[in-house]
Chain A
């Protein structure tokens, strides 16, 4: 039995070890985005969304809550597409739609109008809710947005810019949404 005491002592020491603050010098990260962040693909093998970037579109990694930024080729520079992922419902569908409407100078809508404005496209990750709004003003901004909840994360795809540019790039944007795929399924 005596032989067991050192073993128990060693186990006890390690079982009781405390976490401590550590300081370390590390090379600067040159990662395009913190791919380990919860908003992107966290944790492996968590379910995550993938897509096929339309031909001619330039995809760049985002930062913060933004996962990616796309520059569409038609009327270059006059529209931009973004992908944002947020945990949970992120305020819900109506709040987000009204936030988008506010970005192009439109007044908020109610649930009834929301239902009539909503369209859906089918993707391999599930149904994507689509909205298309044209703003007020001389430049007529336009916003096409897609929203899909995958597991505990809601993904927001938004194409925004001049009305003409968004109109030209909308078909490719919708194709991107139709091609969404849940990596884990």
Chain B
């Protein structure tokens, strides 16, 4: 077979309507698989393992082997995108009659691009803030960081933030901002922390609250209402080789632990990863409205003061259900509350492609109206 003919066959298959239907069927199957997987895995992990991946992997129990068992959403979406693009350019003619179809295809292609943008660029975090409190950072509960804070200065802290991916890798961590090295001796994605009993073996930690705890590794959890209590056994070693202390750090422990070195006060903690903002929010009021005579929630709303010296913003904003604050590329949604209604929690989403789905839906709707409008006009006696 001549190379050209072979190429034409490949292009023909890639742009075929059959492939479109196969892809759509696979997407429907993936939706069902993802929905079912959310029960044991939780929403985020299920989406990551079925939709935001190129292949769905299966790992037999007690084995490190991973076997691809189904195309993932990324692969199906990519093939469908290529299929739509090729079909558009190869099969549709550039005529006024087909303008609606062109717009519809463009809208669908944008929809897939939007999902890719979301998968790769979206960052989701939370901001818990109490009434009267001001916050200028959000926290990512699915990613952790080892924060080393030089708290010597009375007004400002110097924070060296080490992502959990580096801590998990173990070994020695050195950075120009730190006059000591950190040695990660152990890292557990999830652990149970028990108070030590007199009969327990000696702690590996030499100081801090962790010295009173027994740390036992547990299988990681991923359910929506579950939280891993990660634990890291970390030693700080001075430049002269002196051991400054070995600490059990965990995101389940509230207070940082630390040591003094050359008159400087260092605090270490394993905590949700922080993303600092160039502006701040102060929670002025939080309202948890209920239907009269019941405990059934009617509405949650937070009145916040937005201050951004760089942009000259200083104003009140009311955030309530389905009415997020959109500012500086981030959306702050009312997500939760606590502490006897004195704590409000915002879900913070940064997604540069958030407008794409709206745009694509509008284009598909416009394309359909145009296409069927033309058909209708033609059927009612217009020119053929």
Contact = CB atoms under 8 A, between A and B. Distances in A.
A14 B156 contact: no
A175 to B, nearest CB: 15
B256 to A, nearest CB: 8
A14 B197 contact: no
Interface string A43-62: 11111101110000000001
B338 A14 contact: no
B254 A37 contact: yes
B356 interface: no
Contacts of A63: 254-255
B155 interface: yes
B295 to A, nearest CB: 10
B371 interface: no
Interface stretch (B224-232, B358-366, B375-383): B224-232
Interface in B128-172: 128, 130, 133, 136-137, 139, 141, 151, 153-163, 165-166
B271 A36 contact: yes
A9 interface: no
Contacts of A20: 163
Given A22-B161, A47-B225, A50-B339, A34 B255 contact: yes
Interface stretch (B26-34, B58-66, B188-196, B309-317): B188-196
A38 B158 contact: no
Interface majority SS (helix, strand, loop, mixed), chain A: loop
B225 A23 contact: no
A27 B149 CA distance: 12
Contact of A90 (B130, B151, B194): B194
B193 A87 contact: yes
B214 A64 contact: no
A35 B128 contact: yes
B229 A38 contact: yes
B121 A43 contact: no
Given A36-B272, A90-B194, A42 B255 contact: no
A35 B336 CA distance: 13
Contacts of A4: 82, 85
Contacts of B120: 11, 14-15
A90 B157 contact: no
A37 B133 contact: no
B272 A43 contact: yes
A52 to B, nearest CB: 7
Nearest to A11: B120
A18 to B, nearest CB: 8
Interface string B198-220: 00000000000100001000100
A39 interface: yes
Most A CB contacts (10 A, CB to CB) among B128, B209, B218, B272 go to B128
A91 B194 contact: yes
B163 A19 contact: yes
A23 B160 contact: yes
B187 interface: no
Nearest to B214: A91
Nearest to B153: A28
Contacts of B136: 26-27
B226 A152 contact: yes
Contact of A43 (B126, B153, B154, B218): B126
Most A CB contacts (10 A, CB to CB) among B128, B251, B338 go to B338
Nearest to A12: B120
B253 interface: yes
A21 B161 contact: yes
B161 to A, nearest CB: 5
A65 B254 CA distance: 6
A39 B227 CA distance: 11
B336 A90 contact: no
A96 interface: yes
Interface in B102-135: 113, 116, 120-121, 126, 128, 130, 133
A151 interface: yes
A50 B338 contact: yes
Contacts of B339: 35, 41, 50
Top-4 shortest CB links A-B: A43-B141, A19-B163, A45-B336, A37-B254
Given A26-B137, A88-B192, 15 more contacts: A4-B85, A22-B161, A23-B177, A26-B276, A36-B139, A39-B254, A43-B227, A44-B336, A44-B338, A45-B335, A52-B340, A86-B193, A87-B192, A89-B194, A95-B195
19 contacts: A4-B85, A21-B163, A22-B161, A23-B160, A27-B136, A27-B155, A27-B157, A28-B153, A36-B272, A38-B250, A42-B227, A42-B251, A43-B126, A52-B340, A65-B209, A86-B193, A86-B252, A87-B192, A95-B195
